[in-house]
């Protein structure tokens, strides 16, 4: 959160450039069909078993490795550096006027797969960073005079190395002696069973199928996951709900028939709601004067269910935090008045928590000792001021392992009524491999809500792989979808937006846009171009920075968004 009005916080500058490139790229997935039985994989050295033979990698970026591999004994490892995106390519012989299916298995950093020189429409597809093998698939048709195409993989500038394996250009034999044997469609998997459940996920397991390179998981007839192993966890499910699942086996020859269906029933809702209403509004209260209306806690409108006091600051002790009321900057607001106002809000059913970090926060929890210091110091502040919990707003990175340890230690001290909220930036929730997302999932059983900051970020990716610009309904809904389908319960997801144009450097949206996004996610109405595949009626609500900027604008935000949140189904 910004302490200085109109000043955007520090953020990764590649996000805008990435968005511009992706927005200009058409990701053509349509038209991929099962190849005929006589078709072959026309790629040479498709699994990198012969080193980089037949492949050319830019700037010496490629090498073969023995681990991790998807199949065989080797895989490609390509490392972007500077202005090089680690492009590895091969010229593949094809037949004119023919259809081909292009696929590869990738892991690691951002990875792209594409074909150029097709004589028709060149194609590409990509995926963000992935901690496990993931299959990229697209298709193309060759032109009347096309006898070869260039197949390529590449990463993204300044990002982690990517791995690629088992590249396939499957279709009519182009005469290039690709060498891979003709595959056979695998058999239907057997032994599908429900291994475990949570309030928002079902874990499945099944028997391996000979010749399969991957498996697709279907929920109620819709494909929801593609994995390489014999287990998968389907997330983003509603609590106390039964779902039907099937699984198929796949390879480059095609997909097997679906298995016998099994039913998995999720458990009752998880997470700590702290006796909050089903739908709640969070507002940050400023313990400083930066030009916004100066407030006492008692001045915060009743539409706010959670008031996050901003901010606790780092001490000389690693991991430890402290809070000092800025009485001088708040027109003589005394500590005794502050404590009394906190108690009054709590008597009215509200929660008051202490926020850690902000734009300039320097709290670091990166080992066991600092984790203990964090838990002990936050608990001490809770006892001193009567806070109901803690908000994690660390915008300069956090360690998932030790922040998880710190919050679990705090929970053991404070008990089941502890409120834990988080306010990550958009880039922090783009993938479940990001540390903020990992932390949220690690503490899901005690987490109250994640109010991601949908501002000061530029364009970002939605859950459908498309790029959306901030300041729109689509930006709010398509990015929320990543969290909703990535493992958080709907009751643990909120939309964080500025209360006014002065509250952030960019990303302000009118309250009506926030309400439309809430309706789209909870009810499937008032959506923009992006519409989620299902609704999330348990969506927690919305957050704003800040109650002070809201007051400066005549409380226009809370007067419009507050009643709308509380009226959601």
Q: Could you count the other beta carbons within 10 Å of the beta carbon of residue 37?
A: 11
- For residue 446, how far is the Cα from the chain centroid? 19
Left, alpha or beta for 490 (phi > 0: left; psi -120 to 50: alpha)? alpha
- The answer to whether 42 and 150 have CB atoms below 8 angstroms apart is no
Give Cα separations from 334 to 311, 329, 483, 488 (angstroms). 17, 11, 40, 39
**Tokens encoding 532:** 């989620």
- The answer to whether 146 and 116 have CB atoms below 8 angstroms apart is no
Left, alpha or beta for 343 (phi > 0: left; psi -120 to 50: alpha)? alpha
- The answer to whether 451 and 391 have CB atoms below 8 angstroms apart is no
Rounded CA-CA distance 329/105 in Å is 57
Instruction: Scan for tokens 């809770």, then name that residue.
Output: 382
- Find residue 113's DSSP bridge partners: 125, 153
Q: What 8-state DSSP symbol labels residue 238? A: P
Rounded CA-CA distance 118/92 in Å is 11
3-state helix, strand, coil in the chain (%, to 5): 20, 30, 50
Catalytic residue among 49, 255, 359, 395: 395
Return the SS3 of 541.
Answer: strand
Q: Strand pairing of 306-314 and 321-322?
A: antiparallel
For the beta sheet containing 123-127, the strands, ordered from the edge strand earlier in sequence to the opposite edge, are 56-57, 88-93, 148-154, 111-116, 123-127
Rounded CA-CA distance 423/9 in Å is 14
Q: Could you count the other beta carbons within 10 Å of the beta carbon of residue 17?
A: 15
On the question of a cis peptide bond just before residue 311, with omega within 30 degrees of 0, the verdict is yes
**Start-to-end Cα distance in the chain:** 30
Q: Could you count the other beta carbons within 10 Å of the beta carbon of residue 174?
A: 22
- The answer to whether 520 and 526 have CB atoms below 8 angstroms apart is yes
Return the SS3 of 6.
Answer: coil
Rounded CA-CA distance 479/471 in Å is 12
On the question of a cis peptide bond just before residue 490, with omega within 30 degrees of 0, the verdict is no
Rounded CA-CA distance 196/451 in Å is 28
- For residue 227, how far is the Cα from the chain centroid? 18
Q: Is 485 designated active site? A: no
Closest CA to 183 of 209, 212, 217: 212
Sequence-distant (6+) residues with CB within 8 A of 116 are 122, 149, 150, 152
Active site (catalytic) residues: 395
């Amino acid at each position: 959160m910004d302490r200085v009005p109109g000043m955007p916080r520090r953020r990764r500058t590649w996000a805008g450039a990435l968005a511009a490139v992706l927005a200009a790229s058409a990701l053509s997935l349509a038209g991929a069909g099962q190849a005929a039985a006589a078709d072959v994989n026309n790629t040479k050295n498709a699994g990198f078993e012969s080193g980089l033979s037949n492949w050319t990698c830019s700037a010496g970026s490629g090498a073969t490795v023995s681990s991790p591999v998807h199949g065989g004994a080797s895989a490609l490892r390509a490392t972007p550096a500077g202005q090089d995106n680690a492009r590895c390519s091969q010229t593949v012989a094809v037949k004119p006027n023919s259809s081909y299916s292009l696929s590869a298995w990738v892991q690691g950093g951002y990875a792209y797969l594409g074909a150029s020189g097709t004589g028709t429409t060149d194609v590409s597809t990509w995926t963000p960073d992935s901690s496990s093998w993931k299959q990229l698939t697209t298709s193309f048709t060759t032109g009347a005079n096309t006898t070869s195409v260039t197949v390529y993989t590449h990463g993204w500038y300044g990002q982690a190395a990517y791995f690629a394996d088992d590249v396939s250009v499957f279709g009519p034999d182009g005469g290039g002696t690709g060498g891979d044997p003709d595959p056979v469609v695998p058999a239907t998997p057997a032994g599908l069973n429900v291994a475990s459940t949570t309030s928002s996920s079902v874990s499945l397991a099944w028997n391996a199928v000979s010749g399969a390179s991957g498996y697709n998981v279907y929920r109620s007839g819709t494909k929801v996951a593609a994995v390489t192993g014999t287990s998968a966890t389907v997330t983003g499910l509603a609590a106390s709900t039964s779902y039907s699942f099937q699984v198929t086996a796949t390879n480059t020859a095609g997909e097997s028939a679906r298995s016998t269906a099994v039913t998995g029933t999720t458990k009752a809702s998880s997470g700590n709601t702290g006796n909050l209403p089903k739908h709640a509004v969070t507002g940050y209260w400023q313990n400083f004067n930066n030009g916004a209306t100066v407030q006492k806690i008692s001045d915060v409108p009743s539409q706010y269910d959670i008031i996050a006091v901003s901010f606790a600051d780092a001490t000389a002790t690693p991991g430890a935090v402290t809070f000092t009321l800025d009485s001088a900057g708040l027109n003589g607001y005394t500590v005794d008045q502050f404590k009394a106002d906190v108690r009054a809000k709590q008597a009215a059913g509200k929660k008051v928590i202490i926020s850690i970090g902000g734009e300039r926060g320097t709290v670091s929890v990166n080992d066991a000792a600092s984790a203990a210091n964090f838990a002990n110091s936050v608990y001490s502040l809770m006892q001193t001021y009567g806070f109901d919990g803690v908000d994690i707003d660390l915008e300069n990175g956090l360690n998932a392992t030790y922040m998880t340890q710190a919050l679990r230690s705090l929970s053991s001290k404070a008990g089941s009524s502890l409120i834990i909220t988080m306010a990550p930036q958009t880039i922090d929730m783009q993938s479940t491999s990001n540390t903020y997302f990992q932390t949220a999932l690690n503490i899901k059983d005690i987490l109250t809500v994640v109010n991601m900051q949908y501002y000061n970020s530029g364009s970002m990716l939605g859950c459908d792989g498309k790029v959306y610009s901030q300041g729109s309904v689509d930006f709010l809904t398509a990015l929320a979808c990543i969290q909703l389908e990535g493992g958080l319960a709907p009751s643990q997801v909120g939309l964080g937006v500025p209360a006014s144009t002065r509250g952030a450097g960019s990303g302000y949206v009118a309250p009506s846009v926030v309400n439309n996004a809430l309706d789209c996610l909870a009810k499937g109405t008032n959506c923009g171009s992006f519409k989620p595949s299902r609704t999330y009626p348990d969506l927690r609500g919305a957050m704003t920075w800040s109650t002070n900027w809201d007051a400066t604008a005549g409380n226009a935000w809370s007067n419009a968004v507050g009643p709308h949140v509380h009226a959601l189904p």
